[in-house]
């Protein structure tokens, strides 16, 4: 199960990983906490009044197309996008939005989804949300709460039969080592580096960001094209002439063919570093549990 804040997040973080595991026969569910109603239109070709007026329906249709491309299941968990506050001082978040929900209210639909879908592995964001969007930060809080509560019959009674996931991972998607390796490869080929501005921004805020160790690298280069197709399905959010598609796929596959993760919780024995999100987890379809180990 991959837990995300908005439609399009599933395609920009961990999409090739999901496509790989779908091909290998795993059931994969994307749980999308909000409808992305307050997302900006980031593709100039879609910046039209009729699109802005129907953002909720359009983003759901985009999500449905991306889901089909990736081969995953998907469900919306019913909360309203908080938007990304901008300005100094920052304006208050909109009343009733996802990021302002009490933790137990925000977590209950995810606990219910976990108990129904019964995943062994959950993917989510780190405690800064990957970047400090209020919905991403809340998604981390909700994911940790649900991971820890879903297996406890005393918690969230009435939200389904208890089920304990075994591993919880944080995406480590946009880290410096990857960008540096790709930038070096671009320089060697005499190609323009689209990451130059990104490096400058990162240097300016280096003290604010926590670098998570990469415990798990999943080989999925052959699925990068599917990832990009899923991204393009989110036409209001993704500019086909933009940043996401500036690096040739063959270079990406050669230089950094993995998607990377930090193992935040584990109830099974596993040896780090890993190359498989299911390391230590039984994959024969049986209901038995591997031996319980201390949390990572």
User: What CATH number does the domain containing 264 carry?
Assistant: 3.40.50.10320
Average pLDDT over residues 140-165: 98
Shared domain for 180 and 259, answered yes or no, is: no
Domain with 181, as residue range(s), is: 176-211
With cut-offs at 50, 70 and 90, classify the pLDDT of residue 126: very high
Q: How far apart are CA 278 and CA 21, in angstroms?
A: 10
Average pLDDT over residues 273-290: 72
**Binding site, residues?**
6, 9, 136
Shared domain for 181 and 288, answered yes or no, is: no
Tell me the whole-structure pTM to 2 decimals: 0.93
Shared domain for 195 and 240, answered yes or no, is: no
Shared domain for 76 and 205, answered yes or no, is: no
Show the beta-strand stretches assigned E in 29-156. 29-34, 73-79, 121-124
Predicted pLDDT of residue 25:
97
Whether the bond into 245 is cis, omega within 30 of 0: no
Predicted pLDDT of residue 196:
77
The enclosing H or E element of 155 equals: none
Name the β-bridge partners of 135: none
Instruction: Quick: pLDDT tens for 19-75.
Output: 999 999 999 999 999 999 999 899 999 999 999 999 999 999 999 999 999 999 999
Cβ burial of 119 (10 Å; 0-12, 13-18, 19+) is buried
Predicted pLDDT of residue 211:
84
**Binding site for Zn(2+), residues?**
6, 9, 136
Please state whether beta strands 258-266 and 216-219 pair in parallel, antiparallel, or not at all (unpaired).
Answer: antiparallel
Averaged pLDDT score across all residues of the chain: 92
């Amino acid at each position: 199960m991959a837990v995300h804040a908005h439609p399009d997040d599933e395609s920009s973080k961990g999409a090739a990983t999901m496509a790989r595991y779908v091909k290998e026969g795993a059931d994969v569910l994307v749980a999308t906490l909000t409808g992305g109603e307050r997302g900006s239109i980031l593709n100039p070709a879609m910046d039209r009044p009729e699109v802005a007026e129907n953002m909720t329906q359009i983003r759901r249709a985009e999500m449905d197309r991306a889901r089909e491309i990736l081969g995953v299941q998907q469900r919306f968990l019913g909360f309203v996008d908080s938007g990304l506050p901008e300005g100094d001082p920052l304006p208050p978040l909109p009343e009733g939005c996802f990021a302002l929900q009490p933790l137990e209210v925000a977590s209950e639909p995810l606990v219910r989804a976990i108990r129904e879908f019964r995943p062994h592995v959950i993917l989510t964001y780190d405690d800064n949300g990957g970047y400090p969007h209020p919905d991403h930060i809340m998604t981390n809080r909700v994911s940790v709460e649900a991971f820890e509560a879903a297996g406890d019959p005393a918690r969230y009674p009435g939200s389904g039969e208890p089920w304990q996931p075994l591993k919880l991972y944080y995406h480590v998607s946009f880290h410096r080592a990857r960008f540096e390796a790709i930038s070096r490869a671009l320089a060697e080929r005499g190609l323009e580096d689209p990451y130059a501005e990104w490096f400058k921004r990162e240097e300016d805020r280096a003290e604010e960001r926590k670098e998570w160790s990469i415990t798990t690298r999943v080989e999925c280069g052959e699925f990068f094209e599917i990832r990009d197709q899923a991204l393009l399905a989110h036409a209001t959010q993704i500019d086909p002439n933009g940043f996401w598609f500036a690096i040739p796929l063959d270079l990406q596959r050669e230089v950094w063919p993995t998607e990377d993760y930090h193992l935040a919780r584990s109830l099974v024995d596993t040896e780090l570093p890993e190359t498989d999100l299911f390391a230590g987890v039984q994959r024969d379809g049986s209901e038995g549990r591997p031996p319980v180990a201390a949390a990572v």
